[in-house]
Amino acid sequence: MSIRHGLLALLDQGPRYGYQLRTEFEARTGATWPLNVGQVYTTLSRLERDGLVEAAGEDDEGHQFYAATDAGRAELRAWFGTPVPRTNPPRDELAIKLAMAVTVPGVDVSAVVQGQRRHSIKALQDYTRLKGRALAGEARPGVVPSASNDLAWLLVLDQLIFQTEAEIRWLDHCETRLAQQAELLQARTAEATRDGGPAPAKRGRRLRA
Amino acid sequence: MSHTQESRQTPVLHLENVTRVHGHGAAEVQALRGVDLKVHPGEFVAVMGPSGSGKSTLLTLAGGLDTPSGGRVLVEGVALGDLNRKQLAQVRRRSVGYVFQDYNLIPALTAAENISLPRELDGLSARSARREALVALEELGIPELADRFPDDMSGGQQQRVAIARALIGDRRLVLADEPTGALDSTTGEAVLAVLRARCDAGAAAMMVTHEARHAAWADRVVFLRDGRMVDESVSQDAASLLVSAATNSMKVDE
């Protein structure tokens, strides 16, 4: 996730100082990914080092302003023009957890699935409530209401909702697959018992229950 | 509205150790194996679970369309099992709005007539009943369908008429089986917002759905598995949400 490009996008609209950048970033993303001022300044100094932003004077209150350079603006256009890479998916803790759970003996996988589903549905309920408020045009604490900020926040919420929903569907799917697997195992065991010997290895052939 | 704050009131719907067995002998199927559930005024409950988990059975029992094999179903404190047929019909007509998965509209009646029928049966004048039906159609965003017959409507339109019929009058309990199945995502959302608003105004609702995104409109999501309630998720107060969102942290990228 790029704070760099987020800040560049804000600076593209005119010079700003650190705290202001933080506030505006959060007004658009709804504090879903909160920034602290330290992160903002660290990122600004890296952008400055790379020639993408430059210092643009101070105001009477001593706020240090920054402005995007031409190189910074070019970098921003390139960012908008390039898809976010999906070919190297970020590590997903839940996928790793389930992949491990099915291989570690004694783990109640369906309990892991249900525990996650409850948690994810709860998150979905919470996002949906926030969305209900956003659609009703309710003001957010500490955010100056503006049509574009509100639209940005709504899009972020929708994304969280769709992503969480996808996770829940995947969990449902995992559960069905686990149930199928268990049935298959049962059928094999039954057949082995009937034959009076160990289950024959029948790879790639589905057994009927 | 928080259900904890309402919990001292009589629940609008109360399922008490409800069981339901279909068939008998070798063909016996335990659809519900002892479900306890209360839905309070102002509360919106969603029921989720895999096919065959008992979701729809639960809903039909709650609506008095089926009789439990054991346990009791109480609507506004009245045990449905203690009522005679006439009294039960009255509770179903006055207190309970039911949205069927296959809509169940009467083909020979227009949308407005379908919606106003229960009110007319309750003794309201045809004129007042029609006025209420038109308001309900407006609430669902389909006032132009008032004089159309079900056969001339799309599935999604019929579904919204069915929902309008369930919401008309002062129904205290709305029961809905997959009420957004035939609707696109924006229309489905609008329908859920209507249900949500009904609950915020003091009604109680229970909805069966397999869509997590729809269930998320509810205050409580209960999970059924093999005829039992295995888990539930309760939404927190919205005011604390932004605070909890702020506990997520974000790393500075290099």
What does the alpha-carbon distance between residue B12 and residue B203 come to, in Å, rounded to a whole number?
8
CA distance B82 to chain A (A): 36
Q: Token pair of A201, please?
A: 């290895």
What is the arithmetic mean of pLDDT over A158-169? 92
Confidence at A34, pLDDT banded by 50, 70, 90: confident
What does the alpha-carbon distance between residue A190 and residue A196 come to, in Å, rounded to a whole number?
10
Residue B174 and residue B194 in contact, taking contact as beta carbons nearer than 8 Å: no
pLDDT value of residue A200? 52
What does the alpha-carbon distance between residue B139 and residue B190 come to, in Å, rounded to a whole number?
10
Residue with tokens 């306890």: B36
Nearest CA in chain B to A172: B50
Nearest CA in chain B to A33: B250
Instruction: Report CA-CA distances (Å) from A186 to A163, A173, A180, B161.
Output: 35, 20, 10, 47
Confidence at A196, pLDDT banded by 50, 70, 90: low
Q: What residues does each domain of chain B span?
A: 1-95+171-235, 102-169
pLDDT tens digits along A44-91:
999 999 999 999 999 999 899 999 999 999 999 999 998 888 777 778
| CB-closest option in A122, A165, A175 to B233 | A122
Residue B195 and residue B207 in contact, taking contact as beta carbons nearer than 8 Å: yes
What does the alpha-carbon distance between residue B79 and residue B88 come to, in Å, rounded to a whole number?
10
Q: Any CB–CB contact under 8 A between B239 and chain A?
A: no
Q: Give me the helices (H) in chain A, please.
A: 3-11, 18-29, 37-49, 70-80, 93-101, 109-135, 147-195
Over 50: is that where the pLDDT of A209 sits?
no
Residues in B closer than 8 angstroms to A119, CB to CB, are 233
Over 80: is that where the pLDDT of B74 sits?
yes
What does the alpha-carbon distance between residue B96 and residue B116 come to, in Å, rounded to a whole number?
15
Over 70: is that where the pLDDT of B246 sits?
no
Nearest CA in chain A to B218: A125
Residue with tokens 């004694």: A106
pLDDT tens digits along A93-137:
999 999 899 888 888 998 999 999 999 999 999 999 888 888 888
* Of A161, A180, A159, nearest in space to A169 by CA: A161
Over 80: is that where the pLDDT of B13 sits?
yes
Tell if the CB–CB gap between B235 and A125 is shorter than 8 Å: yes
pLDDT value of residue A142? 73
Amino acid at B83: L
Nearest CA in chain A to B250: A33
pLDDT value of residue A137? 80
Q: Any CB–CB contact under 8 A between A33 and chain B?
A: yes
A-B contacts (CB, under 8 Å): 96
What is the predicted ipTM? 0.72
Instruction: Say whether B220 sits in a helix, a strand or coil.
Output: strand
H or E element that contains B74:
strand B70-75
Residues in A closer than 8 angstroms to B211, CB to CB, are 165
pLDDT value of residue B126? 94
CA distance A135 to chain B (A): 10
What's the mean pLDDT when you consider all of chain A?
86
What is the arithmetic mean of pLDDT over B218-240? 82
Residue A140 and residue A153 in contact, taking contact as beta carbons nearer than 8 Å: yes
**Residues with Cβ within 8 Å of residue B176, at least 6 apart in sequence:** B59, B98, B99, B163, B166, B195, B205, B206, B207, B208
What is the arithmetic mean of pLDDT over B123-134? 95
What is the arithmetic mean of pLDDT over B246-254? 37
Confidence at B252, pLDDT banded by 50, 70, 90: very low
Over 60: is that where the pLDDT of A12 sits?
yes
Helix crossing, A3-11 with A18-29: angle to 10°? 110
Query: What is the 8-class DSSP label of residue A164?
Result: H
CATH numeric code, B1-95+171-235:
3.40.50.300
Residues in A closer than 8 angstroms to B249, CB to CB, are 34
